[in-house]
Structure 1
Amino acid sequence: MSGPEAADGRDWRVFEATGAAPGGPPPSLLPAPPWRRFRGGPPQPAPPGDEHAALRRLGQVDAVPQLDPDSVDVVNAALLLRRPLLVTGAPGVGKSTLAYLVSRELGLGRVLEWNVVSRTTLRDGLYSHDALGRAQAIAAWRAGLRPREAEAVESPETEEQPPPALGDFITLGPLGTALLPYDRPRVLLVDELDKSDIDLPNDLLHVLENGSYEIPELVRDASDRARVRTSDPGGSADLRQGRVECREFPVVVITSNGEREFPAAFRRRCLPLEMRTPTRDQLLAIVDSHLRVRPPDAEVLVDLFVQRVEAGGTHSLDQLLNAVQLTTAGTFPTDASGRKLVEMLLRDLAKGR
């Protein structure tokens, strides 16, 4: 590779951080490195889109990069190398929004969100098994057979209802769905991994390295195939022998507020990206994208927001958007009471209330 182009003449960068949907066919990624190629099958249908969620997160974006050039290069490196992004930065700086930015710009469909809390386990992300529901369904099935047993003696041709299928009681989680064999990668947002139990990052190592996992309940089942639910609304997938392996490793965006350090073995498998507060021009572009017009006081509020961030305060982008929205709502007061409300919205989050 020399300069900005790969050996075959294609630009290795497919992501520009504008968040603008492709005007034609979505851009294709360069081939994965040999050590990141997987052979999962059969291929899954293309995932559904979710433009409503993208609009809430991004607004009607214009062709204005929302990341600095170095950050854009890190994202492109993660896309090329098929490695997760470990995104750090202050709360509210837009870390989770990056997943929606990539998904919309590359046309990768609905973002799969895995919101991590202290009780989250690896299995929560992979799949859930409704064992109680299955036990109740089997009991009801057996109870329904008894009245027909006498009929079956008189009429041997009576068709027996099959027992409830195990797959009907298994639902793949966000991580499990992202690792299904899609022809193009899914986008998975693992939000606030630093809030997890200390073991979860280590538990993720095998899955992130191998792009595959097994569902023990299906592995032990007599049936060779099972149809299970996925994390997409109304979605389902056919699994063979209880094993899932991706075809294209998903675009994994892992966010962290820096509440603790991750093990070196985990960090080795990720590309680090520290997100900083957007520049003044980027903040104005974000305001424009959400409100579609630039209110008269928007620049004043953006300048105030930038000053407070540069002074060492902790502030989030949604504080700025809320302040701009409030000051443009109807007959919002411009006197002391209005200024007091703006001060409340733009308060330093590091100072408690």
Structure 2
Amino acid sequence: MKFGSTSSYIASDDLAVAVNAAITLQRPLLVKGEPGTGKTELARQVAESLGLPMMEWNIKSTTKAQQGLYEYDAVSRLRDSQLGDERVHDVRNYIRKGKLWQAFEADTRVVLLIDEIDKADIEFPNDLLQELDRMEFHVYETSETVRARHRPIVIITSNNEKELPDAFLRRCFFHFIRFPDADTLRAIVDVHFPGIRESLLTTALTQFYEIRETPGLKKKPSTSEVLDWLKLLLAENLTAEDLKRDARSLLPRLHGALLKNEQDVHLFERLAFASRGRV
């Protein structure tokens, strides 16, 4: 099993090496990088490239590690017992299987995405250490041990909102997705918009990188945002000439696709004002 770029996803050489190394080592792949650099999409593309089904566990601030294993619905069992329901005699009727359990019992190997693990409580990663390491866990209500039939390929994403525990990091293969350089970004654009006019693409990407490198920017636009921007430019049938920025604001055309808060919009307006003052 070897992962590489797909028809809809450009994987850099170092990213492909990281994915394949994690598969070889049978370790979870921990992927960090700016929001919008394709961390979540990576798992989908690994599954597509290797011809495997995918399971997705989206983590929220309220998510507990136990939910990935199973949840025992004691309240429903109590209610059913009061109603005389025969289901109460089998506790298995009240156990809800989590994503890890589903991945462990799958008939074939799967790609399991644990998305944005840093959103959860700081203890969340530690609570999954043994399960991800040994690929098994115990169900106390039924006194059974669930073991993985086929070791899943586990991909974990993080936006670096919280530091992850060292004990957890030791069990992962780590990769940081760097923001693509101009050549790689061109290749990514070509996948999504084949045949885009060269003059439009050159002008658009020049402006895009200038925006990203502007000092004081609160949120740099990402890969997904430049793709949205290009989609709008094509929908409006704009040309390279149309992209010339107004000296009064320096804001790019359709800037709402790139700048996502008022501080950054005001930054370009202030820069334009300062530029006019120097003239």
| TM-score band w.r.t. shorter chain | 0.7 to 0.9
Distance 2:262 2:25 in 1: 37
The 8 Å contact of residues 126 and 176 in structure 1, kept in 2 or not, is answered as yes
Query: Which residue in the other structure is 1:154 paired with?
Result: none
Q: Which residue of 1 aligns with 2:135?
A: 211
Q: Distance in 2 between matches of 1:112 and 1:293?
A: 34
Aligned to 1:274: 176
Aligned to 1:122: 65
Given the two structures, how large is their TM-score scaled by the length of structure 1?
0.63
Q: Matched residue of 1:113: which SS?
A: strand
Distance (Å, rounded) in 2 between the aligned partners of 1:318 and 1:123: 33
TM-score by length of 2: 0.78
Secondary structure at 2:61's aligned position in 1? coil
Contact 2:80–2:87 (CA under 8 A) maintained in structure 1: no
Match of 1:119, SS?
coil
Question: For the Cα contact (< 8 Å) 1:125–1:176, is it kept in 2?
Answer: yes
- Relative to structure 1, is the Cα distance of residues 328 and 131 closer, same or farther in structure 2, using a 3 angstrom cutoff? same
Q: Which amino acid aligns with 1:205?
A: L
CA contact (8 A) 2:3 2:49 kept: yes
- Matched pairs, number: 254
Identity %: 34
Q: Is the aligned partner of 1:189 residue 2:113?
A: yes
Two-structure CA RMSD over aligned residues (Å) = 3.0
Task: Go from structure 1 to structure 2 and tell me whether the alpha carbon gap of 1:350 and 1:15 turns closer, same or farther (over 3 Å shift).
Answer: farther
The corresponding residue for 2:32 is: 88
The amino acid that maps onto 2:258 is: L
1:104 is matched with 48
Distance 1:346 1:270, change over 3 A: same
Q: In structure 1, what is the equivalent of residue 93 of structure 2?
A: 168
SS for the counterpart of 1:190 is strand
What amino acid sits opposite 1:325 in the alignment? K
Q: Which runs of 5+ in 1 are unaligned?
A: 1-12, 21-60, 143-160, 220-240
Aligned position for 1:301: 204
Shift of 1:176: 2.4
Q: Which moved more, 1:321-330 or 1:195-204?
A: 321-330
Deviation at 1:163, TM superposition (A): 5.4
Q: Secondary structure, in 3 states, of the residue corresponding to 1:326?
A: helix
Tell me, in whole angstroms, the C-alpha distance in 2 between the residues paired with 1:69 and 1:332.
34
C-alpha distance after superposition, 1:111-147 (max 9, x if no partner) = 22222222221112112233323333343345xxxxx
Unaligned runs of 5+ in 2: 266-279
Q: 1:87 deviation in Å?
A: 0.8
